[in-house]
Chain A
Amino acid sequence: MTVPAPAQPAVWGFCGTCERWQLSAAWGSPPACPECGSLPQPLESWADGTGRLTLILELALSTAGGQPAG
């Protein structure tokens, strides 16, 4: 008798090409956007009923912080 593998939970990922957040169980391995095949960044990890991801921004800070004067 075959025991079905547990279903892959849907996890969140951001596709920069599609410019959208998606909740999907079909990111695959290696992960790729189900719509366009691009690498999602970031992609949520799922363990013990908890999803986790970290948003790390690539933008460099200007010394002035970009704020208007005054």
Chain B
Amino acid sequence: MIRNAWYVAGFSAEFAPDSITGQVITGRPVVLWRTRQGRAVALDARCAHKRFPLWEGRLLAGDVLECAYHGFAYDPSGKCVAIPALHETGQHIPRTARQRAFPVAEQDGVVWLWPGDAEPASHPPRTVEIGSDGWDTINTEPMEVAANARLLIENLFDLTHFYPLHAGNIGSLADARVPVEIERGRRDGLPYLKTVRRRHSFTLPPMTRDRFGLEVADQLQEHTMVGPGLFHVVVTVAPPGRLGTGDEQGFVLYQSITPRDESSHVWRRSTSCRSGTTWAASPGKSLVEAIVAGAPTVIEQDRWAIEQQQKMFGYPDDDYREVHIKTDGAVVMARHLLDEMEAAEGTAGPAQVRSQRSRQSSDAR
């Protein structure tokens, strides 16, 4: 599990003033709240005194979080500023009564948290469409997924599963055979991996046809993994020969993957369309509403698939060697990139979902 990375703790709206949020991110319980000035802060959620969860506490004046068990109170830096029992006896606060503070950054409508031991080496990725006036955006509620976070990353890069898993909505066998361009490198200090699929005069699958009001179209679809915690999807559609003109329609989708532990993660999605874009089938409705309305079916199919995979990892499988087909290229590369990140910080996880499969079949020489 990679800890030295920025992960989405939530969309900005999930952190209301005067509220306390508790989460487990990469195996680390954290408590988040906003100061009176609106700054999001995060501390280790286990009280230094008796490990009671601080998310059960309450906020006091002065941006102080009070533990619900014995009343140890911490400021946003993690310093303990009050212990009720000590005040009665006039003793000083132990210097070890201190909570670890985690780096938090809020930008573009997203609250990011860095759970790692190393100092952040970069800023979080930008998500400029979220919260921008130029875009209509709908954010989903956070979804709990009972599977290792890598399985979702692999799913998002593995477009050949559109048939049969998504047949009848966004997928078809023809879609699974569209050529894939794969690109990898570094951008803004972060490693990225990107796939590009270009379809020309393509018969759209049912859900896509309904979204854009086109039977046959040209389509450009880009999927980019920006670090282990964020996936960026851009889909652009136009009548044949009209990509790059005013006839384009499309959407931007950010998918955040925040590991809870080795066998579960939280999945968030934020979908954006250019402001004022209406749905071809019902001009009274925005395109982003139409796209999001159809998403739950696809999301549940993906969640079902990766949770089924995770269940199978519970059985001994020592002789297994994964079968590679050519279209697994992006999945294999993503896995290797994540392996390198884990190796760099020495946090290798269960073999079933990481190195064993890739080492057996794609050794670096």
Using known A-B contacts A19-B323, A23-B364, determine if residue A65 contacts B329 with beta carbons closer than 8 Å. no
B185 & A57 in contact (Cβ 8 Å cutoff): no
B324 & A21 in contact (Cβ 8 Å cutoff): yes
A55 contact set on B, CB distance < 8 A = 179-182, 326-327, 329
A14 to B172, CA, bound (A): 25
A-B residue pairs in contact (CB < 8 Å), sample of 16: A10-B364, A16-B326, A20-B361, A21-B328, A23-B336, A23-B365, A25-B365, A34-B365, A49-B186, A50-B184, A51-B182, A54-B179, A55-B180, A57-B179, A61-B173, A67-B163
A67 & B362 in contact (Cβ 8 Å cutoff): no
B326 contact set on A, CB distance < 8 A = 14, 16, 42, 55, 57
A26 contact set on B, CB distance < 8 A = 365
Q: Is the interface of A mostly helix, strand, loop or mixed?
A: loop
B365 contact set on A, CB distance < 8 A = 10, 22-26, 34
Residue A66 lies at the interface, judged by CB distance under 8 Å to chain B: yes
- Interface residues in A38-70 by Cβ distance below 8 A to B read 42, 44, 49-57, 59, 61, 65-68
Number of A-B residue pairs, CB cutoff 8 Å, is: 84
Residue B183 lies at the interface, judged by CB distance under 8 Å to chain A: yes
Residue of A nearest to B332 (CB): A21
Residue of B nearest to A61 (CB): B174
A63 to B173, CA, bound (A): 11
Residue B24 lies at the interface, judged by CB distance under 8 Å to chain A: no
A50 & B179 in contact (Cβ 8 Å cutoff): no
Residue of B nearest to A16 (CB): B326
Chain A: minimal CB distance from B287 (Å): 27
Using known A-B contacts A61-B174, A66-B173, determine if residue A53 contacts B182 with beta carbons closer than 8 Å. yes
B177 & A54 in contact (Cβ 8 Å cutoff): no
Give 7 nearest A-B pairs by CB, closest first.
A50-B185, A66-B173, A21-B332, A24-B365, A55-B180, A20-B361, A23-B364
A19 to B179, CA, bound (A): 19
A51 & B185 in contact (Cβ 8 Å cutoff): yes
A23 to B363, CA, bound (A): 6
A23 contact set on B, CB distance < 8 A = 336, 362-365
